[in-house]
Each structure stands twice: as structure tokens, then as C-alpha cells.
Amino acid sequence: MADIWWKADPHDLHRLTDRVSSVYVERSHLDRDENAVVIINKRQTVRVPAAMVAVMLLGPGTRTTHAAIRLLADSGTTVCWVGEQGVRMYAAGLGPSRGAGLLHRQAWLVTRPKERLAVARAMYSMRFPGEDVSALTMQQLRGREGTRVRKQYHHHAERTGVPWNGRVYVAGDAHAAGDDLNRLLSAANAALYGICHAVITGLGASPGLGFVHTGKATSFVLDIADLYKAEYTIPLAFDLTAQGLTEERDARLGLRDLITRDKLLTRIVTDVKNLLTPEGAEFEDSEANLLWDEQVGAVSGGTNYADSADLSVYGIGDNHIAVIGPDLDETGPTS
Amino acid sequence: MTIIILVAASDGLRGHLTRWMIEASAGVFVGNPSRRIRDRLWELLAARIGDGQAILVEPARNEQGWAVRTAGRNRWQPVDFDGLVLSARPKNN
């Protein structure tokens, strides 16, 4: 067994909030060299301080090796593949979190209609400060939200003088239709999704278990990102269009500057935690290798329980059924 | 801000450090690792520097405003002059 001294312990890793939000790479080769994550293209080689970055966004034309991904996972960096113009396609990664406490909690909330509605309400109430939404149904909440977003578009159109002709969006191909403003909005949103995704996986929650959105593998990402669009990506897209900056890159850079200015990463972390955990509850994020038990909760894993002195303690007494295969013919096949 | 300087360190060790800090020039690393991570990185560096030298300069609450740690062979030693840390060279250097 080779000595893998370079493996990072969870204690070696910066918390998500202490990291730089994102690094975007395109048309390069991502590899591992001398224990470092390196980006190589024809012009130069750059080493990525992966443990300082929350999410790596890999754009078109990137090639990556198994070793590079292994190092990124070890650094607790989320890796996010994004397509042309920053539309997110797929994201994966093992964040710095190694425990499953938050994930359990999320699954528990999302599978109980009453609790789920409470979380969805809490999400909406974050967007309507000072309003009481506690008596509204989901349908009413959706209606309110639609009105609010439309108001935002018109407000910013007036503010910047950029004409707003409605959100043109083709599901699955964000840039198939629409003007510069729509394209910028899609690009900025995609970057925001990537960052929210990084926070969610980084905290050890699931991107797929959404409260308002449902059905997509990234439903919870969409839920969380929606909390910030009115404040960040919508005004940003209008501002950039007004200044004649219409490249997707401008949207990404603009968003990143805003994230830094407002310490948005920290806020996303706090919001996700507050939505999923009851007041004051702290989840131990320790990596515990346990086996679930219906009576005692959990027993420690990595143990062979076959020699356990008294199995009946765990209720396996006389009731357990053994399924045993047919006796094998000792002599082997004859024909 | 923290600065780490590695002299005659293995390539693998230098590469490893670039995951936490930025290598501004050969063997010179700059970054803002937290205290806990500095300690852990230093532990690893000190254990693996072998015949090379490792120097870590970090912010500290003293009159100078910084503190220095060194590890390795034939290294210059920080010497404490009543709270002011100076550097003592080895004889043949």
C-alpha cells in the first residue's frame, strides 16, 4: 500500500465560508502534478489552491483526469461542469462536510407535508420581509412570488433604461432565445446555481430534495438560488446590459464581485442551515461509521457482528429467517 | 497573511502545499490559512522536510506583528532578544 500522506483530514480543510467562491476554467487540461491540482493549456501551467476554493466550474473544452478529481474531492472542492455560456449541466463532488446529520434532517422535512410546507413558507417569508405569509397556501405564495419578480423586472428596466420584453427562456437550452439581457440573466443565474450547489453539497445536504421545486435532481439548488435572484442576478443583468457588457463572462465576474462585496457565501451557508435546522440545533458534522438499528438507533460499523454474544439483544432472537441456497454438489459438475 | 518558504523540498511536498496556498515563486508560498490549518500544515512540513528547510512567517500579536517558525537541517534559528525575534545564522553560511 502506497503511503498517501497527502490525503487531507477534515481538520485540514477550510470551512466553506472561508473559501474563495469559484474558479472558472475552460479549454484547458486539468490534471494532477506533484500532488498539486494543475491547469494546463498551450500557454502556461497554473496550480489551483483547491482547498481555498468552494467550487471549480469546468467550462467547455476542459479535459480532466481521475487523479485531478480525486485531489479536488480530497480538498473538499465541489466540481461543477458547465456548458456553453455557463449553463450548468452537471455537478458533483464531496464537499468538506463528512457527516450525514443535515442530510437526514432534510430528508425528514421533505417527506412530511406539514414540515415541508413550513420550510417552503420560511423560504417565501425570507423574500417578503415584514409580511405575514403563515396563512397562505402554496398556490397563493407562488402567485405572490410571480408578481414580485415581474415587479423587479419592471423596476430595474425603469432604473437602467434597458427595455424589458419579458423573460424568454427555453427549458433545457437557456440561450436558444431571448435578447442580451435574457442571455446575461441566464448566465448569471447559472453561476449562482453553481455556487448554491457548492454550498449545499459542501454542507452535506442533498441538492435533489427541494421544498418548493420538485422532481429535478437539483431542486433544492433552485430553491436556494431563488432566494437571491431579485437581489443579485436580476439587477446585475440590467446593469451590465445598460453598460454594454453583454458577454457571459461579464455576468460571471459581476456576480463574483457582488458575492465578495456582500459575503454572500456566508449568507447562503447560514440560510441553508437555518432552513433545515430548528432553532439552536447544532449538527455534529463528525464522520461516524454507524449501522442503523431499529431499536437502539445505531451501532458502530466496521465490526463483524456474527460473533456477537447475544444477538437477541437486538431482537433477532428466534424470529430471524435465514435464507440458505441449495447444497452444492461437492464433486462439481459431472457433464 | 502567511508566507511559507521551502528550500530543497521535494516536488511532491511543494505541490501539496499549492492546494492551500499560492506559489508566487519557486518555493515561496503566500496565503491566508487559518491558525488551525497553519498548525496542521506546519506539522506535515516539519515532518517531511528532511534535509531541506522550511520557514513559516505568520501574523502574531507581538510588537513585531509577526512570528517565524523554522524546520529542517542547517537552518537559521530565530533568537529571542527580550521579545524581539532576530535570526541567528549557522557558522558556515
Grade residue A328 by pLDDT with cuts at 50, 70 and 90: low
Provide the sign of the torsion angle of the four alpha carbons A244, A147, A134, A205, taken in this order.
negative
Chain B touched by A45 (CB under 8 Å) = no
* pLDDT value at A326 more than 90: no
Grade residue A13 by pLDDT with cuts at 50, 70 and 90: confident
Q: What percent of chain B has pLDDT over 90?
A: 65
Q: What percent of chain A has pLDDT over 70?
A: 73
Chain B touched by A136 (CB under 8 Å) = no
The partner residue sitting opposite B18, judged by closest CB among A8, A12, A36, is: A36
pTM for the whole structure? 0.64
Q: A91 to chain B nearest CA, in Å?
A: 21
**Contact yes or no for B18 and A11 at CB 8 A:** no
* pLDDT value at A37 more than 70: yes
**Contact yes or no for B16 and A35 at CB 8 A:** yes
Task: For residues A25-43, give the mean pLDDT.
Answer: 89
User: In chain B, which residue's Cα lies nearest the Cα of A74?
Assistant: B19
CB A285 within 8 A of CB A97: yes
Task: For residues B50-64, give the mean pLDDT.
Answer: 90
**Contact yes or no for A52 and B34 at CB 8 A:** no
* pLDDT value at B4 more than 70: yes
* pLDDT value at A325 more than 60: no
Distance CA A129, CA B15 (A): 48
Taking all residues of chain A, what is their mean pLDDT, rounded to a whole number? 78
**CB < 8 Å to B11, chain A:** 34
Q: Which residue has the higher pLDDT, A196 or A15?
A: A196
Q: Which residues of B touch A (CB under 8 A)?
A: 11-16, 18-23, 31, 33-34, 36-37, 40-41, 44, 48
Q: Cell 403563515 identifies what position?
A: A134
**CB < 8 Å to B16, chain A:** 6, 34-36
Residue A315 Cα to chain centre, angstroms: 39
The dihedral over CA atoms of A20, A22, A26, A29, expressed in degrees to the nearest 10, equals: 60
Q: A263 to chain B nearest CA, in Å?
A: 17
Residue A317, CB-side half-sphere exposure with 13 Å CA sphere:
4
* pLDDT value at A86 more than 60: no
Chain B touched by A221 (CB under 8 Å) = no
**Contact yes or no for A36 and B15 at CB 8 A:** yes
* pLDDT value at A311 more than 50: no
Question: Which pLDDT score, from 0 to 100, does residue A92 have?
Answer: 60
- Kindly report the CA angle at B76 between B74 and B77, in degrees rounded to 5? 115
User: In sequence order, which residues have a C-beta less than 8 Å from that of residue A10 and are 6 or more positions away?
Assistant: A76, A96, A98, A287
* pLDDT value at A209 more than 90: yes
**CB < 8 Å to A50, chain B:** 19
Task: For residues A326-333, give the mean pLDDT.
Answer: 55
Task: Give per-residue pLDDT as tens, A107-121.
Answer: 999 999 999 999 999
Amino acid at A28: S
**CB < 8 Å to B14, chain A:** 34, 36
Distance CA B5, CA B24 (A): 10
Grade residue A241 by pLDDT with cuts at 50, 70 and 90: very high
Distance CA B67, CA B10 (A): 25
Question: Which pLDDT score, from 0 to 100, does residue A315 have?
Answer: 42
* pLDDT value at A17 more than 50: yes
Q: Can you say whether residue A55 is alpha, beta or left, with left for phi > 0 and alpha for psi between -120 and 50 degrees?
A: beta
The dihedral over CA atoms of A118, A120, A198, A254, expressed in degrees to the nearest 10, equals: -130
Question: Which pLDDT score, from 0 to 100, does residue A313 have?
Answer: 43
* pLDDT value at A333 more than 80: no
Chain B touched by A20 (CB under 8 Å) = no
